[in-house]
Amino acid sequence: MAARRRKPRRPDARPSRDGGDEETGRGERIQKILAAAGVASRRASETLIRDGRVSVNGTIVSELGTRADPVRDRIEVDGEPIRRSGPRRHYVLNKPRGVVTTTRDPHAAHTVLELVPDHERLFPVGRLDAPSEGLLLLTNDGELAQAMLHPSFEVPRTYRVTVSGRVGEASLRRIRRGITLRGKRTAPCEASVVETQGDRTLLEMTLVEGRRRQIRELLRTLGHPVRKLLRTRFGPLRLRGLRAGQWRVVTPHEHAALERLRAHAEHTRRQ
């Protein structure tokens, strides 16, 4: 009598770097899954992966090419399973001076998430350093965050900046053309004088890149230290009269504009 063959037991699928779990060859990149689940933007999700804070079916992953199945695989960040993506939520906050733009910081007195009531799984899009103020987008949509922040999409950011000294036309031309900071030239931007009072000048600047502390370093290099920095616009979003510390849900018109930007970014990536 022939021996009866036993059907092999299916092991837990392991994450793969070449197309999903090893049995099916399907899946999505881990950073895309995390962004869709509202854990963080794609860029921030890549940092989580590099830092070894992400696991798939109990296996720590640290390579950005890793793929997984968001339905079948158990994906965890810091030992906590990620949630299935739900409704996309977007809030506009007028960040006050002194509040840190991060989801958590043990050394900071306050973070921006403390200012909105429904902060679970929200994260800030783009940084404003602690002394800066103004418009900040809080969302659970990592794909939108990637579209807003990636330099290839050139999403404009407008600031009102009060600086020391009188800013002349020569300095404005240098700001508009761009200067070299830390070995890299800044992108051209719009800049104009709103008003001058005594030894202070109020500028309006519109940039399409978001390098860390770029405005402060640029203006300090030109001899005009920043006294106050307020962001008034980010893409289709505007403060619309929000006082410092106040927040609002995006309007239907703003929501539609954000969805168009998101769709355009997704279409561009697929080409």
For the chain, 271 residues long, give each residue's pLDDT as a single digit of tens.
Answer: 444 444 333 334 455 554 443 333 458 889 888 888 878 888 889 999 999 999 999 899 988 888 998 877 889 999 888 876 668 889 999 999 999 988 776 666 788 988 988 766 788 998 899 999 999 999 988 888 888 988 888 999 999 999 999 999 999 999 999 999 989 999 999 999 999 999 999 999 999 988 888 999 999 999 999 999 999 999 999 998 899 999 999 999 999 999 999 888 877 877 6
Q: Which CATH class is domain 156-234?
A: alpha beta
Superfamily of domain 28-81: RNA-binding S4 domain (3.10.290.10)
Residues with catalytic function? 129
pTM: 0.73
Pick from 254, 238, 31, 17: nearest CA to 146: 31
Task: Pull the structure tokens for residue 6.
Answer: 């036993």
**β-bridge mates for residue 33, sequence order:** none
Per-residue pLDDT, 2: 46
Given the DSSP bridges, would you call strands 200-207 and 157-164 parallel, antiparallel or unpaired?
A: antiparallel
End-to-end CA distance of the chain: 59
Q: Where are the domains of the chain?
A: 28-81, 90-151+237-270, 156-234
Please report how many Cα atoms fall inside a 13 Å half-sphere around the Cα of residue 68, on the Cβ side.
28
Identical fold between 28-81 and 90-151+237-270: no
The CATH classification number of 90-151+237-270 equals 3.30.70.580
Report the alpha-carbon distance of residue 224 to residue 200 in Å, rounded. Answer: 9
The set of residues, in sequence order, having a beta carbon less than 8 Å from that of 195 and lying 6+ positions away, is 201, 202
Parallel/antiparallel/unpaired status of strands 226-234 and 133-139: parallel
Sign of CA dihedral 226, 156, 136, 45: negative
